Amino acid sequence: MKAGAGKSEIVLAEEYLEIEDFAVIHRTLNARAVVIQSGQTVVLLSLEITSMPDEETYAIRKKIAENYPVEEDHVWVCVTHTFSAPHLLPDFVLKDSDKIAEKAKYREELIRASLEAVGKGFAGLQKAFVGIGEGYSLVNCNRDVQLEDGWWVGTCGPGICDHKVSVVRINKEDGTPMAALFHYGLQSSVLDGSALSAGGKAVSPDVAGIACDYVEKNTGDDDFVALYLIGAAGDQAPVEKAVTETFVRGEKIKTDRREEGFGICEKLGNSLGETVCQINGQITCEEMAQELEVGKIEFSVPGKEMERELKKLHPMKIPEYIPAQDKVTTVETICLGDLALVGVKPELNCKSGIALGTFSPYRYTWVCTMVNGGAKYMAERDAYDNSKYEAMNSPFGKGAAEILLRKALGLLEKMKG
């Protein structure tokens, strides 16, 4: 087995930041990549942005396949899902030709940073050894809370939370660390909706990005890469946030701790990073004899109408769902030895990730969401019955998550043989 890793800063233009009222940069955003060769070649690319539309995802995968010896279907374009990064907004939202031109520049910058990170990975390809470890971090919580008017988004709700942190350590042949992949169920949303005292918002990689920075600095090697893969985090939030929002008798009440949010980000990010370092330090790496296996399956699930104006969403006790055409969704897998990475576009809830990991034929199964595009939430049946946010803000109908789990499990069983 060979591996290589690379990192590149995403350089942000002030003109595009102004469109979404970003005024300062708390920490820089980065593209990170890990390349693995073992029989086949796969590329794991992680971008510190909120989401990646299908069109841009396709463009990046295509460019990587054109420039490097890897098949397009073997490239995973992932995001860390920080809420404090500029979006690739649709032209009909931007409207103004100058703003659309600035978006095109931002798009090209994301492609450039992606190619540079992946290029460093291929340039550094060398014999590598791997090991897997697990631990726990308490920086996440279930975000679904019950209010007088129904369920809404908050912190420390009564639902299930998966605190497991999983790490793959990759060493060079001489035993020094090359990279670490880590998997955790958390939306990096500490600064989501927070405004500065002087006005405007801050760009930040939030909790996951700060954790990556912490792990990378801890190794003392400038070329070491820590790459975050977001788990089934649809209903998983940081235990503390800058903004809290609730409803009292139908009225929305919002509080913002503003600059205090930076300290919360640093505290939680460093805590998660320290956990990753502790796990990473206990892993023994070995030579990998097995070859990579890559799988993919496409299928239909129930659809429903989704409210496009998020500001109109509010807690409700009686669900109001309008069926829509079935939606096509995809499950992708990368398997190596005892490890299976399961990649999906929709944001699955914690229970789905735990269920698939429990019944998977692989010893370690990482359910990775927002892979190769985004598709909003796909929640379990009880979220629809209780009209939770992940059901309301979803293009998928009741039962979609359960179908996806069965299809994913079937694919894993087929690959395991």
Encoded tokens for 163: 């605190």
Residue length, the chain?
A: 417
Look at 76-90, 115-129, 299-313 and tell me which has the smallest mean pLDDT: 299-313
Long-range contacts, stretch 62-67, CB < 8 angstroms, 24+ apart: 63/111, 63/114, 63/115, 64/114, 64/115, 64/118, 67/115, 67/118, 67/119
Return phi, psi of residue 351, to 5°. Answer: -60, -35
- Which residue carries 């920490």 as its tokens? 27
- Three-state SS for 304? strand
Average pLDDT score over residue span 9-25: 97
d(CA 163, CA 185): 7
Dump pLDDT digits (tens) for 135-146: 999 999 999 999
By the 8 A CB rule, do 33 and 226 touch? Answer: no
What is the pLDDT, as a whole number, of residue 319? 81
- Count Cα neighbours of 70 within 13 Å in the Cβ-side half-sphere: 30
In the chain, domain spans: 293-416
pTM: 0.97
What is the pLDDT, as a whole number, of residue 417? 86
Quick one: angle between helices 260-281 and 206-219, nearest 10? 50
**Please, what is the average pLDDT of the chain?**
97
Q: Is the pLDDT of residue 195 over 90?
A: yes
Dump pLDDT digits (tens) for 339-353: 999 999 999 999 999
Q: Distances from the Cα of 128 to the Cαs of 74, 174, 178, 197, in angstroms?
A: 19, 9, 8, 48
Q: Find all residues with CB under 8 Å of 340, minimum gap 6, and list them.
A: 333, 334, 360, 362, 364, 365, 366, 412, 415
Using pLDDT thresholds of 50, 70 and 90, give the confidence band for residue 310. Answer: confident
Dump pLDDT digits (tens) for 317-339: 888 899 999 999 999 999 999 99
